[in-house]
Amino acid sequence: MLRLSRSPGLFLCVGLLSVCLAGALFAPFLANDPLMTTPANRLMPPGPDAWFGTDHLGRDIFARSLYGARVSLSVGFAVAMLAVGIGLTLGVLAGYWRWLDRLLMRVMDGVMAIPSILLAIALVALHEPGLGIMVIAIAIPEIPRVARLARAVILSVRELPYVEAATASGIRTPRVLLRYIMPSTYAPLMVQGTYIVASAIIIESSLSFLGAGLPPEVPTWGNMIASSRLYISTAPWTVFVPGSFLAVVIYSINLIGDALRDHLDVRMAGPG
């Protein structure tokens, strides 16, 4: 497997991510009600009563951060699965049927030309805010990269002797695709998928921050930062605790992506 022991940094990342994941899963048992306002305890610095302090309405930042992890991680994984699923399908179609290729790739170019945050904003602005539309809005701009990657892999594989042999021996196209071509896309897509989890978390938090995400009351890291930004000078923890959660989780995921890439020996640039 990944040689964790040889890379203490990676080990730490996997550890931190697991802790976050566990925290998110078991948030109801670990933390108070994240919506509960206790104005008497507003803007408390981190301490024994509130580990990460409280915000200006006296809400527990530890609790809100854990519940925020739920939103961020579930959006991240959902987006990655959706984008990889659709991107792979389109990539295979484009890579295998050349007549579709030009059309699909032009469409992908068009999607890539629209800045991802703006495309997501436009999608969200037109619908009732909710988790479902967020996932779709964040996934769409990620699809072209997956599709291009899958297409490139397929183009390089389809001319290989064993694929040509399979086609020549009369195996039907869907079966050739599934059995002989698609498996070679799994490794690069796994790596790409990991990077997408990270970038989806960034975009989700940015949308929340801009007021185009989930409603401000819902504890997400972006919402927490947006609602506390007035207090950055007087109570910096209200901004930097959720900020650190974001940074640590995304950094860990990116490093895991890099490690996967090296381990699976995929030639790819990395996140971004």
Sole binder of another protein in the list 227, 259, 260, 261 (CB under 8 A): 227
CA 200 vs CA 59, 68, 166, 246, 272: distances in Å: 26, 14, 38, 11, 11
Q: Is 268 in the site for another protein (CB under 8 A)?
A: no
Q: Is 113 in the site for another protein (CB under 8 A)?
A: yes
Residue written as tokens 């995400």? 213
**Stretch binding another protein (CB under 8 A), from 24-32, 126-134, 165-173, 181-189:** 126-134
Q: Is 232 in the site for another protein (CB under 8 A)?
A: yes
Sole binder of another protein in the list 109, 177, 183, 263 (CB under 8 A): 109
Distance between CA atoms of 66 and 71, rounded to whole angstroms?
9
Q: Is 247 in the site for another protein (CB under 8 A)?
A: yes
- 19-48 residues in contact with another protein (CB under 8 A) are 35-37, 39-40, 42-43
CA 30 vs CA 47, 64, 72, 144, 217: distances in Å: 16, 11, 18, 39, 20
Distance between CA atoms of 190 and 186, rounded to whole angstroms?
6
Question: Would you report the helix, strand and coil content of the chain in percent, each value rounded to 5?
Answer: 75, 0, 25
Closest contact distance (angstroms) between CB of 126 and another protein is 4
SS3 60: strand
Report the amino acid identity of residue 236: P
Q: Is 136 in the site for another protein (CB under 8 A)?
A: no
Among candidate residues 262, 263, 255, the one with its CA nearest the CA of residue 271: 255
Closest contact distance (angstroms) between CB of 92 and another protein is 21
Q: How many residues does the chain have?
A: 272
Q: Is 121 in the site for another protein (CB under 8 A)?
A: yes
Sole binder of another protein in the list 119, 147, 153, 241 (CB under 8 A): 119
Bridge partners of 60, per DSSP, are 54
Distance between CA atoms of 70 and 219, rounded to whole angstroms?
9
Instruction: List the x/- string, 197-216, binding to another protein by CB under 8 A.
Output: -x---x--xx--xxxx--xx
Count, residues near another protein per rule CB under 8 A: 67
Q: Is 2 in the site for another protein (CB under 8 A)?
A: no
Binding stretches for another protein (CB under 8 A): 35-37, 39-40, 42-43, 56-58, 106-107, 109-119, 121-127, 129, 198, 202, 205-206, 209-212, 215-217, 222, 225, 227, 229-234, 236, 239-240, 243, 246-247, 250-251, 253-255, 258, 269-272
